[in-house]
Amino acid sequence: MGQQISDGNKQDLASGLSTLQPANVQASVASMASGINEYSKSAMVPHPGTVQTLEHAVRNMQPRHVEHILHSGVNVNEPIDQEGHTVLDAFAVEHLSMLKRILDLRTSPEEKTRIFYTNQENARRVHEILTRAGAEMSTPENARFGTNQLLA
């Protein structure tokens, strides 16, 4: 006979086993498999943690990739070129370029607006991640030319 235990499960006193039904276990396994499938569909692909992969993710405004790469230990303020520019410099240049491309789109106002909001949200998230990680722009001492020449 079963006895009620404090967590609400019944336990067979003779065997000491809980009364978990195989169907419950199968449902739990199916739920985990579903979660794994959703994660794999999320476009989160492993990146080696280098400043180059971080720069690429920033330029493509991919917040999940930026976060993943930073979690791998990449220094957010490591120079990305010989002039000493940082990924925050690259972000600023890419954000400006993105806005110009959106303004030049030849599409309906509704579509242009949708694209604008989507891109701005990605840019906002990337900026937020970089800010939380302590990203800084380069200084005049280590970046001696204007942004129009930055990482051309």
Q: DSSP per residue over 68-114, as a string?
A: HHHHTT--TTS-SSTT---HHHHHHHHHHHHHHHHHT--S-HHHHHH
Say whether pLDDT at 11 is over 80. no
Say whether pLDDT at 6 is over 80. no
pLDDT (mean) for 138-145: 65
The alpha carbon torsion through 102, 143, 66, 95 (nearest 10 deg) reads -10
What proportion of the chain, given as a percentage, has pLDDT over 90? 59
- Name the pTM for this structure: 0.62
pLDDT (mean) for 109-132: 97
Say whether pLDDT at 51 is over 60. yes
More confidently predicted of 10 and 32? 32
In tens, the pLDDT along 63-91 reads 999 999 999 999 999 999 999 999 999 99
pLDDT (mean) for 35-49: 55
More confidently predicted of 9 and 106? 106
